């Protein structure tokens, strides 16, 4: 097994961001909670809007912005747009004293994770009404459940989050626990398709389950290959979305017909083939698997080494057994349009 250890530059970046987003008590003392938070956010690329003011304050193309330099009574932040910023958990401490925040946009925040969801749920239970978490790829269904304390939340946007396991189920539970909450961006059609695949996988004659709810594919030789269950499937990656460690260990291939293998791999979401490649950096690292398979296929081809069909890259594998289901949910629903109209009013 070969390991790519975390570089000094990576550690340096972590230290830098931790300091960059740290809470400074003196800033709170001289500016007050809302103005201090405004300076903190705008300086880091976000935009803020104050109560009874239609203007959004943010940096111009030269990096300049206009905010008062001293405490002003009655100045309260009503909305924050931190989309595509590098706001992280440590930075939320600077927002801890905001009592009038109604809108928070974190769409595309690369550091938004489950810890941040729990913190947001604790900070704004009595004020936050609109929250946008679209394309926050580090958030899991379990972390999203931490928002259940936001009892005044009315609109939650989750565009680009359909890949998150059990997110549709969590969305329904949130709508059940928070009165009048409406969630946008979740394709329940895709969730239903995933559920149908899981049911079909578990019903397959080759699949057996253990007492913990883990599912395994049994090959012709009686060997078991994990495909679903309660194993932590979050990949361990760097901030550049690269694996921290890639294994060179290869499991023996399951003995079964290639068509049957492809079908089971499809139903398992690619995990059957994935884990044969050594589980690089977590069970859901599917793109890295394809990169490894492609490299190994070229390397073996140059040396005249045969490659088993089960370990061919996607571009050279047998055709899919059936056409993939294409979601027809391409247009904005009435709920999404409503969210956009309300959000525009805040602007």
List of domains in the chain: 8-186 (3.80.10.10), 193-316 (no CATH)
- The answer to whether the beta carbons of residues 154 and 178 sit under 8 Å apart is no
Residue 77 three-state SS: strand
Kindly provide the b/e burial profile for residues 14-27, where b requires at least 16 CB atoms within 10 angstroms of the residue's own CB: eeebeeebeeeeeb
> Which residues are within 8 A (CB) of 231 and not within 5 positions of it... i.e. 6 or more apart?
214, 283
Task: Please count the other Cβ atoms lying within 10 Å of the Cβ belonging to residue 30.
Answer: 13
| Mean pLDDT (whole number) for 87-114 | 92
Alpha helix segments (H runs only) across 64-181: 114-123, 141-144, 167-177
* Alpha-carbon span 313 to 286, nearest angstrom: 11
Task: Please count the other Cβ atoms lying within 10 Å of the Cβ belonging to residue 150.
Answer: 25
- The answer to whether the beta carbons of residues 55 and 79 sit under 8 Å apart is no
Q: Give the model's confidence band at 207: pLDDT under 50 very low, under 70 low, under 90 confident, else very high.
A: very high
Which of 195-204, 232-241, 324-333 has the weakest average pLDDT?
324-333
Which of 134-143, 169-178, 280-289 has the weakest average pLDDT?
280-289
pLDDT(108) > 90 = yes
pLDDT(132) > 70 = yes
Q: Which of 12, 62, 64, 68 is nearest to 43 (CA)?
A: 64
pLDDT(209) > 80 = yes
Side-by-side strand order, sheet with 103-105: 56-57, 47-50, 77-81, 103-105, 130-132, 155-157, 182-184
Look at residue 23 in the predicted model and tell me its pLDDT: 54
Angle between helices 188-203 and 258-267 (to 10 degrees): 140
Strands 103-105 and 130-132, by their bridges, are parallel
pTM, two decimals, is 0.64
Residue 16 three-state SS: helix
């Amino acid at each position: 097994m070969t390991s790519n250890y975390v570089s000094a530059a990576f550690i340096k970046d972590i230290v830098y961001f931790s300091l960059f987003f740290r809470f400074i008590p003196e800033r709170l003392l001289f500016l007050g909670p809302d103005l201090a938070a405004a300076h903190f956010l705008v300086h880091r690329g976000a935009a803020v809007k104050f109560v009874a003011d239609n203007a959004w304050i943010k940096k111009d193309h030269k990096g300049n912005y206009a905010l008062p330099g001293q405490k002003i009574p009655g100045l309260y932040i009503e909305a924050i747009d931190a989309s595509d910023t590098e706001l992280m958990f440590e930075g939320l401490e600077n927002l801890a004293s905001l009592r009038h925040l109604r809108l928070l946009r974190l769409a595309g925040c690369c550091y938004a994770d489950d810890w941040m969801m729990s913190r947001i749920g604790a900070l704004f239970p009595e004020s936050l009404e609109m929250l946008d978490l679209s394309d926050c790829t580090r958030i899991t269904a379990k972390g999203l459940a931490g928002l259940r304390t936001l009892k005044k939340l009315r609109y939650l946007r989750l565009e680009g989050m359909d890949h998150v396991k059990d997110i549709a189920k969590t969305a329904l539970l949130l709508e059940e626990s928070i009165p009048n909450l409406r969630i946008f961006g979740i394709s329940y059609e895709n969730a239903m398709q995933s559920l149908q695949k899981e049911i079909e996988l578990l019903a397959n004659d080759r699949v057996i389950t253990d007492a913990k709810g883990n599912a395994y594919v049994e090959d012709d030789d009686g060997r078991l290959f994990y495909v679903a269950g309660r194993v932590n499937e979050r990949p361990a990656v760097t901030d550049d979305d690269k694996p921290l460690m890639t294994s060179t260990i290869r499991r023996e291939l399951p003995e079964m017909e290639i068509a049957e293998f492809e079908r089971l791999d499809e139903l398992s979401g690619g995990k059957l083939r994935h884990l044969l490649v050594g589980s690089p950096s977590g069970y859901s690292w599917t793109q890295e698997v394809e990169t490894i398979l492609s490299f190994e296929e070229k390397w073996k081809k140059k040396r005249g080494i045969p490659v088993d069909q089960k370990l061919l890259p996607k571009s050279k594998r047998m055709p899919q057994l059936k056409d993939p289901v294409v979601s027809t949910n391409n247009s904005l629903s009435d709920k999404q349009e409503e969210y956009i109209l309300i959000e525009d009013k805040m602007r």
